[in-house]
Each structure stands twice: as C-alpha cells, then as structure tokens.
Structure 1
Amino acid sequence: MGLTEYRALLIDCDEVLVDRDSGVWAALQPLLDSRGGHSDKEQVLAEYAEVVRGLYPRFAELGFSGSQCFAHRQLAERWGLKASWEEGMSFARSAANWSLFEDAPGAMLYLRKFYRLLVRGDRDTEDRGLLCERLGITPDDFISLASDPLLDPEWLKNNELEVRHVLQVTRPAAVGSATRDVCLICRDPAKRSSPCAADYCINSMADLVAQHQLSLRR
C-alpha cells in the first residue's frame, strides 16, 4: 500500500519519538562515575537493553518504574557497585524527562492531519498525561507494549479499523516482531540492515513527513 492509503499509524514511543538512549545515558552517569574509567556508550546501552528485556516478563508485577529501578540495580551488580533503592528510583523517575527527538513534535502535528496516531510504549500512569500532551495525542491512543491492538479483533472493531489500515512505525530493535505494513525509522543509518526488512526504510520522522508529501503529489 502507498503511504496515503493507511488510516492510522502505530508508532513506537521510545527510539522513534522519545530519545530513550540519551535519557538513559544521562541518568546512568552517577553510577558510571562510581565505576570510574571510560565507559563505552554503545556497550552500556546494550547492557541496559539486555537487563530490561530480562525483566520484561515481570512487567505486570513491577510496572515501569519498578522495572527501571531493578534494571539500575542489576547494572550496578554487573559492574561490582552498590546502589541504593533511592538511586534506583531516581534513575527510574528520570524517564519523565526524557527528551523528544527534535523532529517528533512537528512530524506528529503534520501526520495527525492525515492519520489517527497511536503510540506504543510503557510509562507510569502519572507520566502518561504529560507525555501524551507533548506528543499531541489523547491518553486513549497511548497503548501499552503489553498489548498488541493489531491482534485484538474487538479493539479493531471498536476503532473501526482493519489490520491493513494500520502502518507500524518502529525501530530496528523491534522490526522482527512486525510482519507486514512496517515503516522502519533508523536514526543511525549505519545500523540499518541491507536489504531493509521493512516496507519503508527511512532515517527519521521528518523523512516520513517528506515521503508522505511526495506521495500526495503522485
């Protein structure tokens, strides 16, 4: 399908709209300072992603802040450090201040003229309202990663959508879980696989806007 034929976009929150990696890197600095020496950013973020994946089966029990707190504790243990629960919670609460990518607000403003915008991510309830306001969506359109609306016939019916109407806008780490109608946002072109494993492969949300504008002219 062409870009103008979809009715909704299902957009990953972190790494597509929110610069999670920069937020995590900044919040880990106190722990890294205790570790000493030079820390490789890519390695640290890879370790963070690994411990978060390991904790995800407990997400229903821990919640977002709890899982982030435990991730901080596990990283400290990996690095032979001691970290208090207060430090872990400070790390977890930093997520409320993670920055949007510079192009995200303008892209969302443009795209919502043509699509229903759905955002997939995980945040504590008290943080969702502000994040939704920053993204220009309603809280009902912020969908937990614990659910997949494209596999929920009742949700699709209630929202007057079919799977083919929805384009998933995702990041390289998650593209394997999406099987069709995928737009891959790879903000670091060096990490893009070749050939691209998605229907659309672009560098940013700004590029998605540009591609949509080209589609309108055809």
Structure 2
Amino acid sequence: MKLTDFKALTFDCYGTLIDWESGMIEGLKPLIERAGRDLSRNEILEAHARHESSQQKWTPQKRYSDLLSTVYKRLAEEWGVTATRDECVAYGESVKDWPAFADTAAALRYLKQHYRLVVLSNVDNRSFSFSNQKLGVDFDAIYTAEDIGSYKPSERNFNYMLEKLATLGIGAEQVLHTAESMFHDHVPASRLGLKSCWIYRRHADQGFGATMHPGDMPKVDFRFDSMADLAKAHSEVLRGG
C-alpha cells in the first residue's frame, strides 16, 4: 500500500490541522487563574475532554460553539469557580482564534495538487469558517457536526461522509482518513474498514490530551508526526523513494 493509492484525503480538523489544545488553554486562562490549584496542561485538557465528550453524547445536535460554552460552565463547577454567562459564551466563540499548526497550510497546498481534500469535523459551520481562513486551500467538501446532527466518534458521521463522497465519484476504497484523534477518528474509521493515516501531533507528550482514551488502539495504515512529514513522504513516493 502506498500513499499514491488514494483519490481523497478526509481530514479531522481540530487537533490535526488546527492546534486546538493551545487554543483551549489560551481560552481557559481566566478560569484556570481563578481555580486556585496547580493544574498541569494535560490535566486541563483531559478534564476538557471528559466534559466535551459527555456533552456531545447528551446533546448531539447542539452547535459546537454552544457546546463549548457548556463545557466551560462544567469546568468552572468542577474547579469550584464561578463563571458568568458572558465568559461561557466567549469561550464558545474562541474557536475563531485557535491557531493552525505551523506546517498545515503548506502541506495542504502540496497535497491539494494530488488529492481531493475533504473535512469531517466536530464543529459548527460558522466556527469552521474562521478556521478555514487559516488553512490556505479550498476543500472539495466540508462535512460538519452541525450538518450531520451528531458528533464523532459516531459512525453516523462517517456514513454521512461516505454517502456524500459517492456523489462526487469517490468510493470508500479511495479514501485515506487522516487524523490525530484515536477516539474520534481512527476507532470508528477502523470499524468501517477505512484506510487511515495517523498524524501523531502529540508524539512528544503523554496521554491523549483533549481527546478521550480510545480503549484498544486501532490499526492505522500510515503514521506521521506532522502534516509536513505526510507531504514529504508523498513526494518521496513520487520520486520513487
């Protein structure tokens, strides 16, 4: 199996293309400073993952920005801190400020020359529109949780994507699902028989950060530590490396 065997790359966005963990930490600073306890970066991210995953399960049709507002409120309660409604809303809106990883835009521009590029993301359309401005390419399709009415890791999101890709002439066997999150992406992609590429952004860190523990680690077909490494590997295949 080679990277050149595929027609489309389907991407998770947050954690893979957008540095959501840095964005989260920055957006949570007012809460963290009032918490009055020594919380490590990973402890903060893991608490966020618990509340986000729970909220997505209980309110799958809630827009992501509104869901993040609720997560902020739940974190304040867990840490014994009072949070105003305006603070909760501001955190929900902070997605627009989350930065892209430094290598993302250049890698996507390169890959766009060789693949159809598709986004499958746990986000609302308005929030993604701000992130999209940082990514530097026109995607061939964008499927959001708001479009679908559920959140990954639900297989419903992947089935929606595959149904819509078929209308673009792209079959499941031509897709390489490309993502950081084991929990949200690689576990359901593996169950559905999709080929997968793990962008292991957290390779130098411990744990799963802002995503839940996936349980048994699924099989992945390719692994790179960055989008730049993926683009480099593809170019090497073309050169016969």
Question: Shared fold (TM-score greater than 0.5)?
Answer: yes
Query: Structure 1 residues 17, 153: CA separation in 2 closer, same or farther (over 3 Å shift)?
Result: closer
Instruction: Kindly provide the CA deviation profile for residues 5-49 of structure 1, in whole angstroms up to 9, marking residues without a partner as x.
Output: 211000110110000000001111100111123211101100101
Alignment of 1:145-156 (within 5 A): 145=145, 146=150, 148-150=157-159, 154-156=163-165
Which residue in the other structure is 1:49 paired with?
A: 49
Which letter maps to 1:5?
Answer: D
Alignment of 1:182-193 (within 5 A): 182-190=196-204, 191=206
Unaligned runs of 5+ in 2: 151-155, 209-216
> Which stretch of structure 1 is more off in the superposition, 169-178 or 67-76?
169-178
**2:60 is the alignment partner of 1:59:** yes
**2:15 is the alignment partner of 1:15:** yes
| Structure 1 length-normalised TM | 0.90
| Structure 2 length-normalised TM | 0.82
Which residue in the other structure is 2:212 paired with?
A: none
Which letter maps to 2:120?
Answer: R
Q: Work out whether residues 149 and 156 of structure 1, in 8 Å CA contact, stay in contact via their aligned partners in 2.
A: no
Unaligned runs of 5+ in 1: none
Q: Work out whether residues 132 and 142 of structure 1, in 8 Å CA contact, stay in contact via their aligned partners in 2.
A: no
Aligned length: 216
1:201 offset after TM fit, Å? 1.0
**2:2 is the alignment partner of 1:26:** no
CA distance in 2, matches of 1:217, 1:178: 29
From 167, 186, 199, give the equivalent of 2:221. 199
1:171 offset after TM fit, Å? 1.3
Q: Work out whether residues 9 and 117 of structure 1, in 8 Å CA contact, stay in contact via their aligned partners in 2.
A: yes
Query: Structure 1 residues 153, 33: CA separation in 2 closer, same or farther (over 3 Å shift)?
Result: closer
> Which stretch of structure 1 is more off in the superposition, 63-72 or 141-150?
141-150
Q: Work out whether residues 150 and 156 of structure 1, in 8 Å CA contact, stay in contact via their aligned partners in 2.
A: no
Identity of aligned residues (%): 27
> Which stretch of structure 1 is more off in the superposition, 121-130 or 15-24?
121-130
CA distance in 2, matches of 1:150, 1:164: 13
- For the aligned residue pairs, the C-alpha RMSD in angstroms reads 2.2
